[in-house]
Homo-oligomer: A and B are copies of this chain.
Amino acid sequence: MESLFLQSNSRSSSTLSPQRRAEEVKSCSFQGFIKNTKTTNTTKLAMALTQVSSNKCCGGYQKVFEHDSSELKCKMKFAIYLPPKAESGKCPVLYWLSGLTCTEQNFITKAGCQRLLPSMASSLSPRIQAHVSGCNIEGEDESWDFGTGAGFYVDATQEPWKTNYRMYSYVTEELPRLINSNFPVDPEKMSISGHSMGGHGALICALKNPGKYKAVSAFAPICNPMQCAWGQKAFSGYLGPEKSTWEAYDATVLAASYSGPELDILIDQGRDDQFLSASQLLPDNLIAACSEKKIPVVFRLQQGYDHSYYFVFSFVEDHIKHHAKYLNA
C-alpha cells in the first residue's frame, strides 16, 4: 500500500535553521500542493501550511507541517508520509492517532511503516497525532494523563478546556479538510488506526461516523474509558460529571448501538501489557458489545508483548495489510 501517513502535534519540535528549512522546501516534491504566501493564486487553506521538515525516506518523503488550527485555536503540527506514488496520482489516506504523552514524532520514527508502504499497492495515508498544547491553560501541564498530551479525542464542554480541547472535531473534520485540500488524496478513501489512547480515538471516530472510514484497527486501545481510571479522569475533566455525556466517546457503548456499514475491526493487544492487568484497557467489554451486535472483531492477544512501540512495530505490517484490503478495494 503506497500511503501518506499523518500525525499532528502543536508542540514546537523544529530544530531546523532557516537556511536548512529553505533547503528542505527546495527538495520538496510536493511544492505544487503547498503554496507559499507569495503565490497569489492560492486558497486560504493552501496558504495555511508551513513545512517544518522534509526527509526523503524509502523513495517517498516524510514531512512535518505546522498550521493554525481554527478548531483548536492554537498551532498544530502533523507528520505526513508521502509515498512515491503520490507524485503521479491520488492515494487513500490512513490516519494514525497516537497515545498519551506522544508527539507527532513517535510513529514516524519508531513504527517503521515507511518501508512497508511503497511495496504494498497504491494508497496514500496521513497519520495524525492528537495533542493540544501551548494554549496557556492553567493546569494543563500538571499531569501526564490529563491536559497537554492527553486530549482523549473528545470535544471538551467544560471550562477551561472547551475552547481548545476539541480533538474529536479536529481529527474527524478540520484535518481531513486540510489534507484533502493540500495533498494528492482520494477523499473517499480514508481509514484510521492508533495506539492506546489513540486506539480509543480510532475506534470512536469509526463507530461515530458509519461509512466515513473504510477500515479501523487499534493497538492496545482503551476500549471502555467510562469504566477505567484514565477515562474517568479525562471525561470528568473535559465533559463534566454527567455520565450520559461520556457515552458519546466510549467505544464499548458506541459499539452496542452501532448501525451502519459492516466494520471489520482488527485489535492487537500485548498479553504482558501492564495497563491491561491494571484494567485500563478492558478489551473484553468491547468484544462482548461487538459480539452482541455481530460486529466482526479480530482480537489478537500477543504473548510476551508489552504496551511499548516495540509491540506496535512488531505487528504494524498486519495492520497496514488490513487497511489496504479496504482502501484498495
A residues engaging B (CB < 8 A)?
20, 23, 27, 55-59, 62, 109-110, 112, 114-115, 270, 272, 274, 304-306, 308-311, 313-314, 317
The reply to whether B23 and A58 form a contact with Cβ atoms under 8 Å apart is no
Distance to closest chain B CB from A200 (angstroms): 22
A58, B304: Cβ atoms under 8 Å?
Answer: no
Q: How far apart are A181's CB and chain B's nearest CB, in angstroms?
A: 26
Which residue of chain B has the shortest Cβ distance to A303 in the bound complex? Answer: B56
Q: A309 touching B109 by the CB < 8 A rule?
A: yes
Q: Decide if A313 touches B56 in the complex (CB within 8 Å).
A: no
CB-defined contacts of A27 to chain B, threshold 8 Å: 272, 304
> Per a CB cutoff under 8 Å, which of B20, B56, B109, B314 touches A59?
B314
Contact check: which of B23, B55, B306 meets A56 at CB < 8 Å? B306
Q: Tell me how far the C-beta of A300 lies from the nearest C-beta in chain B, rounded to whole angstroms.
A: 14
Contact between chains at A56 and B109 (CB < 8 Å): no
CA distance A311 to B309 in the complex (A): 21
**Which one of B55, B112, B274, B305 lies within 8 Å of A311 (CB-CB)?**
B55
Q: Are B314 and A115 in contact (CB under 8 A)?
A: yes
Of B23, B114, B313, which one neighbours A313 at CB under 8 angstroms?
B114
**How near does chain B come to A130, taking the closest CB pair, in angstroms?**
21
